Amino acid sequence: MTKSGYRVAVVGATGAVGEQMLKTLERMDFPVETLLPLSSKRSAGKKVKFRGEELTVQEAAPESFEGIQLALFSAGGSVSKALAPEAVKRGAIVVDNTSAYRMDEGVPLVVPEVNEEDLKNHNGIIANPNCSTIQMVAALEPVRKSYGLKRIIVSTYQAVSGAGADAVGEMYEQSGQIMNGEEIDPQILPAGGDKKHYQIAFNAIPQIDVFTDNGYTFEEMKMINETKKIMNDSSLKVAATCVRLPVETGHSESVFIEVENNGVTVEDIQSVLKEAPGVTLQDDPSSQLYPMAVDAARKDDVFVGRIRRDLDTENGFHMWIVADNLLKGAALNSVQIAFSLDKLGLLKK
Ligand code: NAP
Ligand code: 3JM
C-alpha cells in the first residue's frame, strides 16, 4: 500500500458492515495510505483483503489509534463509547456507525446528500445515522425542499443482515431446519440483548432492537429522532413501526407523507426524485416497475416507487423506498462522509 492518502482504521472490520467498508473504500478509491483492520480478541490474527493485499486483523485498543487520521467504527455502541474518544484524543476523526453518539449535541448526524454542511461543526466524532433513517431522508429531503414536509408515518420491512453476520447465519440455519422438519432454536433475533428469541425464517417480527418505555422500540425511536435532527426540524411529525423480515439484504419502507404546499401532484414528486442525487425513481405500475430488495441489494442508490396520492388526506402521499442496508444504510454512507470530510478540508493531512 504505497498510495498517498490517509491512515485509516476500520473498527469491526470482520463484521457485516466492516466487510462492506473495506470493499467500499477500495471500490470508490478513497485515498488510503495505510489501512488498519480492528476487531475484538476473537478475530485478532484473522486476515482481511484490501486492494489485493492480506492484512492481519488486530484487537482494538486505545493505542491502536496512534497516528490514525480517520477511524470508521462499526462494532456496536459499547465499543464506540469506549474507544471513539480514545481515537479522537490521538488526533483521529471518527465516523461512527452506531447509535452511541447520534443524538449528542455537537455530533453532526450526516447523510451527505442532505446535510453535508453540518460536518463543519464536528468535535472529532461524526455519526452515521441508522440504516432505516438514511434511506428515508435521502428520498424525502428533495421532496421537503421543494414542497415542505409536515408529517411522516413509516413502516419498515427490514433485512436480517442489519442485525449482523450471525443473524444471517441464524436465518439460513432455521430455514434449512424448517424445510427438513427439524426443531429450531432461535438465539439472536429479534434482539440479541433481549430475553426472548423468535423464529425469523418464514416469519415477520414487529420488534427491532429492544423496547423503550413509551411502547416504541429503540429502532423506531432512532428513526423518529434522527429524522428530525438530520432535517433540522423539531416540529416535523414522525411515527415509525419497524419490522424484521427473512430478507437477507435490502430494507424496504412503506412511507406516508403530508407535504406543506397545496396542489402538489404525483408527477411533481416524481420529477423532483428523478433529479435527486443518490436516488433512482422506479415507478411505473403499467409495467409493474417498483423497487424490490433483491434488486436494490449491492447497489448504491436509494430506490423509490409506488408513489400515489392518499385518497382521503389532503396533500398526503404514499411511496415505497428501498436500499441496500449495508451500503447506503451503513458502509457507503460512512465512506461518502469520509469523502465529504476530505473535500471540505476537515481531515488532517
Ligand atoms: P457483526 O456482523 O456482528 O460484526 C461486529 C463487528 O464488531 C465484528 O468485526 C466484531 O469483531 C466487532 N467487535 C465486536 N466486539 C468488539 C470489541 N469489543 N472490540 C472491537 N471489535 C468488536 O455486526 P455488524 O452488522 O457489522 O454491525 C456492527 C455495528 O455497526 C452494530 O453493532 C451497529 O452498532 C452498527 N450498525 C449500524 C448500522 C447503521 O444503520 N448505520 C447498520 C448495521 C450495524 P469479531 O469478529 O472479533 O467479533
Ligand atoms: C444497528 O450496540 C449494539 O449492540 C449495536 C446495536 C445496533 C445498532 C446501534 O444501536 O448502534 C445494531 C444494528 C444499530 C444502529 O445502526 O442503530
pLDDT at 38 over 60: yes
Q: Are 158 and 251 in contact (CB under 8 A)?
A: yes
**CB 68 near ligand 1, within 6 Å:** no
pLDDT of 1 over the 80 cut:
no
**pLDDT at site 108:** 98
Domains of the chain: 6-128+330-343 (3.40.50.720), 133-325 (3.30.360.10)
User: Ligand 1 mean position to 242 CA, how many Å?
Assistant: 20
Atom 19 (ligand 1): residue with closest C-alpha? 40
For residue 2, pLDDT over 70 is answered with no
Q: Which ligand is in closest contact with the Cα of 127?
A: 1
| Per-residue pLDDT tens digits for 141-165 | 999 999 999 999 999 999 999 999 9
pLDDT cut 70: percent of the chain above it: 99
CA diameter of the chain: 62
CA distance 82 to 11: 12
| Cα–Cα distance list, 243 to 10, 12, 56, 122, 229 (Å) | 29, 25, 37, 33, 23
Closest Cα to atom 13 of ligand 2: 163
pLDDT of 95 above 50: yes
Whether 76 is in the pocket of ligand 1, judged by its Cβ within 6 Å, is yes
Mean pLDDT of 233-244: 98
User: Is 132 near ligand 2, meaning CB less than 6 Å away?
Assistant: no
pLDDT digits (tens, 9 = 90+) for 168-190: 999 999 999 999 999 999 999 99
- For the stretch 123-134, pLDDT in tens is 999 999 999 999
CA distance 115 to 226: 12
Q: Note the pTM of the prediction, 2 decimals.
A: 0.98
Helix (H) or strand (E) holding 50: strand 47-50
Q: Whose CA is nearest to atom 6 of ligand 2?
A: 76
